[in-house]
Amino acid sequence: MPITQNETTEDGRALGSRLAGGGTWTWAYVDASGDREDPQHLAALQRRKAEDALRAAGADAAVIDTVMAELEETPGVPAPVNRYVLVHDGELVLSEVLPGHMHGPESVGHGAVPDLVPLLAHRPLDVPFLVVEVGRGGGGYRAYRLGHADHPDQRDEQEVQGRTDTLHKFQGGGWAHLRWQHHTEELWRQNESEVAAAVQDAVDRLSPRLVIVAGDIRARQLLITELSKTKATAPLLSEVPIDPRASDASEDGVREHVDIALARVVAQRRHDVEDLLRTHDGRGDGEVAAGLGPVVEALQQAQPSIVVLDPAGFEDRTVLALDAAPWIATAPEQALGATVLGHVPAPVGIVRAALLTDAEVVYANTAALPGGAPAAALLRWRTGPEIPGGLTRARRGRR
């Protein structure tokens, strides 16, 4: 059976707490890639465009200066890369470098309801992972997190230098040759055992979801054998058939392997959630809400554990954002005494309400959701009672 627990990210939990306090938000999500013709000129034009948009939205000069200062910083990582800046009541909350291609259009704004859709698209899960490089004389690891840029002053890394004084192969023959070869291979095993101990300590401490191993082929084999002795670590291992330390090696090979491995983790989570949606929807057991109206109704009761949506599937549909519970509505009469903050794009309102009610947000394609709806939810408790015809309230009104 697929994974069922809620996997709300650290960003989501922190933002949910802030969102409940109200206030005014300013945000900017822009492409920060430098692999374009005349990148400095383009970046300057982009900042001017963002500045004009913020001024038109009513942001004061101090807030605009804060956002512009963050956008002016060089990302320091290879393209493609994006920047996301978030300010709450004048305080800088997030200034993030988001590696990878843009997930949706640029978004710049100022108001009571921030656009958090692109941030969660880049960081759909909390996925810490280790990249390990090994050679016959030792090795080391560096820790990363999905959707987070690598900052040198914040790195969790370790290098292990093993014995290298006698690692060369003895070129003689006969019994002496065999004895010396065995001695050399034993040194290799000792070195990789020390690296494995350091990596295992990092696994125990950081709980990564992937351990990617690259390096000399024999050293890789020895290290993987050693790490595989721990049952909890063995399933995390992913071998890259590349030695980054070789003179003719390309860093792109390791990076591509990492990207593919991470994409598989995210895709597996999405597949598991989609599978659960199909299973419960097929049973008609009241554990799924599908369609904008039913999902909003479920969010009003803090019922969803996982909200699944396709931001591109709503076209120009909007919802009402509220300043207190039930946080979201499709019509003013649903506000239940809360103040209406305004009409916002449906994905923005749904993501905000999901974070406020501690629901995990998963992005998927509309075609994979029940009835081709742009939003669906797995519920913490069943809806009911069933109505004639075998349909529950949560399954009505999909659109």
The DSSP-derived string for 355-386 is HHTT-EEEE--GGGSGGG-SEEEEESS-----
Q: What are phi and psi of 64, to 5 degrees?
A: -60, -40
Distance (Å, whole) CA 9 – CA 103: 18
pTM: 0.84
Q: What does each of the 399 residues of the chain score in pLDDT, given as a tens digit?
A: 344 577 888 888 889 999 999 999 999 999 988 766 666 777 788 899 999 999 999 999 999 999 999 998 887 777 888 999 999 999 999 999 998 889 999 999 999 999 999 999 999 999 999 999 998 788 999 999 998 876 555 567 788 776 555 444 444 444 454 454 555 666 767 888 899 999 999 999 999 999 999 999 988 999 999 999 999 999 999 999 988 877 666 667 888 899 999 999 999 999 999 999 999 999 999 999 999 999 999 999 999 999 999 999 999 999 999 999 999 999 999 999 999 999 999 999 999 999 999 999 999 999 999 999 999 999 999 876 554 443 333 334 444
Q: What are phi and psi of 210, to 5 degrees?
A: -145, 145
CB 28 within 8 A of CB 85: yes
For residue 157, the surrounding DSSP H or E stretch is strand 157-161
Helix then strand count (H, E) for the chain reads 9, 16
The conformation of residue 291, written as its DSSP 8-state character, comes to: S
Q: Which two tokens stand for residue 120?
A: 């969660």
CB 228 within 8 A of CB 239: no
